[in-house]
Structure 1
Amino acid sequence: MEQSVQKYIVYLSKEKNYSDKTLEAYRCDILSFRDYIVGFGVDYRVVDYDNVRGWIVCLVEEGLQNRSINRKVSALKGFYQFLMQLKEVGKNPLQLHRSLKVKKKLQIPFSRKEIDVVCQALRSEHTFEKLRDLVIIELLYGLGLRRAELVNLKVTDIDFNLHQVRVIGKGDKRRNLPMLESLEEVLVEYLRLRDLELKEIGVRDALVLNKRRNKVDEMFVYRVINGYFSNATSKEKNSPHVLRHSFASHLIENGADINSIKELMGHESLSTTQMYAQVNLAELKKVYKASHPRMKKK
């Protein structure tokens, strides 16, 4: 089975352009099922849905959340679909499986004030590292980027003549995003300092660099955002995705068309973008209940 799993991982890497982190998660999820059926002496090529259901029950008993279980089952379903294409199996045992119900959590975006507080503090500093951190925040919030999109940006992706940034998103899909004047000003100053810093070690293609002047990774970006916003807000989650979330929510608050936001964020489905509108509605309800005089009387 290990050889088939490896073929599937290579396929996901080359054809789907999945990140290393995602590929490792898929591999572990599939091998988790392998370990389960081995205990019952079942060959992976002849499993049926009863075997899958037994595995799911074990995952529930282990205390895994439905969201995590759904991810594991999704990985396994894709694997068996791949095996069908290779003619290793005649049917997908998960073909009729329905995902477990997941309670949707409303993720609260940062307020504009919270973002301004962090950015203003960084603007008062004039070091390469502080300006680099400000660029990270401005790119995530000003363009609504994903972490992976940000770390893969190159200097050549910034076009000051057209006032836009070229972004490579999921599935290697490209989109050009307009730069805000505030972002453009920060980038100009950052690139000036960046060029001074690189004089002794040569040119680097990556736009965002760490202290060693190498391309940053996604965990680095997470630490930067979590570090600054943990001190600026009492919100439970302080991640790069919350800044991307804030980008969409604040656009909706100001009347932006949801289809336009979909294109800006690089979403495949409009339903994904609509999630941000739902969160905004939830916030409005919260304000309404706290402010309406009839609610106060109760």
Structure 2
Amino acid sequence: MEELLDPVEEFFRYLKIERGLSENTLQAYKRDLIKYYEYLKEFRKIKNWHRVTRQDVMQFLYFLNDSGKSSATIARTLSTLRLFHSFLIREFDMKEDPSLHIETPKSKRHLPKVLSTNDVEKLLHIQYDDKFSLRNKAMLEVLYATGLRVTELIDLTLNDLHLTMGFIRCFGKGSKERIVPMGDIAKEAIELYLHDSRPKLVKRKQTEQVFVNHHGKPLSRQGFWKIIKQVAKEAGIEKEISPHTLRHSFATHLLENGADLRAVQEMLGHADISTTQIYTQVSKSRLKDIYKSHHPRA
């Protein structure tokens, strides 16, 4: 089965080195392709990529559907297969692309969950009186002030902070650099953390990451997840909350207050403005809820 595996490994190297994809995106591609490889090997008895037909691809997608995968997952997987088969044609002299002319299943676009401004106030109203709460306060203030992804937040280094100028630098998907402004409240929270909390956490360890755990090492995504869940619980917020909730809330609240869509797109680091436009739908949905709740004849 090396004939199947070798091009897959070459493809992963191509994605990492030439496309510069993030580790999270790479892992998503790997999951899709390994599942595809295993299906072809076990159920279609295929030992060479040249033998893969359009029917094989279709049967794999039916297999995913029968396994209970959502239309969004199937559409993403098909996108991965198209990219991979295009790579095979370019690098391994395959004559035909079996993934062509297969209709992508339409995925339901769920509106992102956001917090109300009152809930955001509750979440950010932390009693900052020790090294951990100072850190947590700073992280949450920065997230809501900038709309960073969680990975971007925990990857921030001291050199990425430009507090005097009121902005931070971060590297998003595909290692694309962007500059994001930050308000005074978030700036003050991070300055207090850097002065009173971080030195106690880091001690004598050498680390460039801004936010660290109780061992003085860079904070992980899982570590941040636990923190925001705990803070939300202590704040009495009953809504389901995830690390991405503050990013969604940042975008939605900006648009509700008249921010330009293109400016929000740039701050979020979205390559396509259609991704940002989903937040305008959230705003409309929230306006309808407010109308129904308060209009006497709604």
Give the TM-score normalised by structure 1. 0.92
Report the equivalent of 2:78.
73
Q: Secondary structure at the match of 1:240?
A: coil
Give the match for residue 136 of structure 2.
133
Select the residue among 272, 276, 285 that pairs with 1:282.
285
The 2-side partners of 1:28 and 1:228 are apart by: 32
Specify the SS of the correspondent of 2:179. Answer: strand
Q: Match of 2:204? A: 201
Partner of 2:121: 116
2:23 — aligned with what? 20
Whole-angstrom CA distance in 2 between matches of 1:218 and 1:92: 38
- Can you give the 5+ residue segments of structure 2 that lack an aligned partner in the other structure? none
Q: C-alpha offsets along residues 81-122 of structure 1, whole Å, 9 cap, x if unaligned? A: 1112203412221122222121222223111111111211x2
Contact in 2 for aligned 1:140/1:240 (Cα 8 Å): no
d(CA) in 1 for partners of 2:57, 2:24 = 25
Q: Residues 131 and 198 of structure 2 are in contact (CA less than 8 Å); yes or no, is this contact kept in structure 1?
A: no
Residue 97 in structure 1 maps to residue 102 in structure 2: yes
Out of 161, 166, 170, the residue aligned to residue 167 of structure 1 is 170
**Among candidates 200, 208, 221, match of residue 224 of structure 2:** 221
Q: What residue number does 2:69 align with?
A: 64
> How far does residue 21 in structure 1 lie from its aligned partner after superposition?
3.1
Counterpart in the other structure of 2:247? 244
Mapped partners of 1:78, 1:239: distance in 2: 31
Q: 1:192 matched to which residue of 2?
A: 195
Provide the C-alpha distance between the structure 1 equivalents of 2:82 and 2:281, rounded to a whole number of angstroms.
Answer: 30
Render the CA deviation track for 1:227-253: whole Å, top value 9, x for unaligned: 3224532323x1121110000110011
TM-score normalized by structure 2?
Answer: 0.92
Q: Which residue pairs with 2:261 in the alignment?
A: 258
Distance 1:263 1:159 in 2: 18
Q: Secondary structure in 2 aligned to 1:166?
A: strand
In structure 2, the partner of 1:86 is 91
Which residue type is aligned with residue 80 of structure 2?
A
Please tell me the residue identity of whatever aligns with 1:64: K
Q: Distance in 1 between matches of 2:244 and 2:291?
A: 27
Preserved contact between residue 249 and residue 276 of structure 1 (Cα < 8 Å): yes
For the aligned residues, what is the CA RMSD? Answer: 1.8
Q: Compared with structure 1, are the counterparts of its residues 117 and 48 closer, same or farther at alpha carbon in structure 2 (3 Å cutoff)?
A: same
Tell me which amino acid in the other structure corresponds to 2:10.
K
How many Å separate the matches in 2 of 1:191 and 1:113? 27
Matched AA of 2:217: N
Distance 1:10 1:86, change over 3 A: same
Aligned-partner SS, 1:177: strand
Structure 1 residue 171: deviation in Å?
Answer: 1.7
Instruction: Please identify, of 202-211 and 10-19, the stretch whose mean Cα deviation from structure 2 is larger.
Output: 10-19
| Aligned-residue identity in percent | 30
Aligned equivalents of 2:99 and 2:232: distance in 1? 42
Whole-angstrom CA distance in 1 between matches of 2:83 and 2:232: 37
